[in-house]
Amino acid sequence: MRLAKMSMLATITLSAVGSACIKAPPIAVIDNRTALEVQASGEYPVLEFQGANAALQPRPSPVSAKAIVSKAGLSAAGHDLDLFAVSQSDAKFIDDMLLRGCLGEAQDGLLEYTPDHCDAEVEVSEVLRAASRNNLHRRQVWEYLASQRSAQSPAAARDAWRSVHLEQVRCGTWIEEGGVWTQKAC
């Protein structure tokens, strides 16, 4: 009898447990954002990669024939222009802008437009283009220097390069140290 009661109790317990609703845990499906959502948030990973990659590939800056002729002060008809004699090189132009105070040697090792110290009427877009090209070349030099030493980072290469470079800049060049611009004294 006792066995029968226990058997009946087990049957009732199992039927009660079996008939109870077991609730499944909530399931959340996480999916990637759509391309439109990514673009709406201002992220363009493909374009950012292409832009960064294009900046590291050295190539000449495009110059139209019209720009060359206008710089030389000549008419285009019947003149063969010697590009090296007519156009002013970036190095000479940047040196001139450094002496005039339109460009300065920033603390991060790059050239920076400094309109507060500029004592000349200049075409700002031309100054910025030349500085941008030179800054790209500087970054490439730092990457190269860092790649030659396995334990050196580009930032360390930049700092070492900058310390030597600042010894060679001309007197009167604006240099940023600690967020303050001062002229190099000789």
Please indicate, yes or no, if residue 170 is contained in any of the structural domains: yes
Task: Look at residue 49 in the predicted model and tell me its pLDDT.
Answer: 65
Task: Look at residue 118 in the predicted model and tell me its pLDDT.
Answer: 82
Distance CA 102, CA 127 (A): 8
State which H helix or E strand residue 112 sits in: strand 111-113
The domain tally of the chain equals 1
> 103 is in which domain, residue-wise?
87-186
Please indicate, yes or no, if residue 57 is contained in any of the structural domains: no
Task: Yes or no: say if 122 and 102 are a contact pair by the CB < 8 Å rule.
Answer: yes
Query: Which tokens sit at 75?
Result: 């008419």
Please indicate, yes or no, if residue 56 is contained in any of the structural domains: no
Please indicate, yes or no, if residue 44 is contained in any of the structural domains: no
Distance CA 154, CA 177 (A): 20
Task: Look at residue 124 in the predicted model and tell me its pLDDT.
Answer: 84
Task: Look at residue 10 in the predicted model and tell me its pLDDT.
Answer: 56
Torsions phi, psi for 103 (to 5 deg)? -125, 150
Task: Yes or no: say if 172 and 99 are a contact pair by the CB < 8 Å rule.
Answer: yes
Please indicate, yes or no, if residue 112 is contained in any of the structural domains: yes
Q: Tell me which amino acid residue 124 is.
A: V
DSSP string, 16-73: HHHHSPPPPPP-----PPPHHHHHHTT--HHHHHHHHHHHTS--PPP--HHHHHHHHT
pLDDT mean for each 10 residues of the chain (186 residues): 57 55 69 71 69 61 68 54 50 86 89 84 84 87 85 86 88 88 86
Beta bridge partners of 180: 177
What is each CA distance from 81 to 61, 63, 76, 131, in whole angstroms?
18, 13, 9, 25
Task: Look at residue 78 in the predicted model and tell me its pLDDT.
Answer: 47
Please indicate, yes or no, if residue 43 is contained in any of the structural domains: no
Task: Look at residue 82 in the predicted model and tell me its pLDDT.
Answer: 47
Task: Look at residue 83 in the predicted model and tell me its pLDDT.
Answer: 44
Torsions phi, psi for 95 (to 5 deg)? -60, -45
What is each CA distance from 31 to 28, 34, 38, 46, 69, in whole angstroms?
10, 9, 13, 20, 57
Please indicate, yes or no, if residue 153 is contained in any of the structural domains: yes
Please indicate, yes or no, if residue 10 is contained in any of the structural domains: no
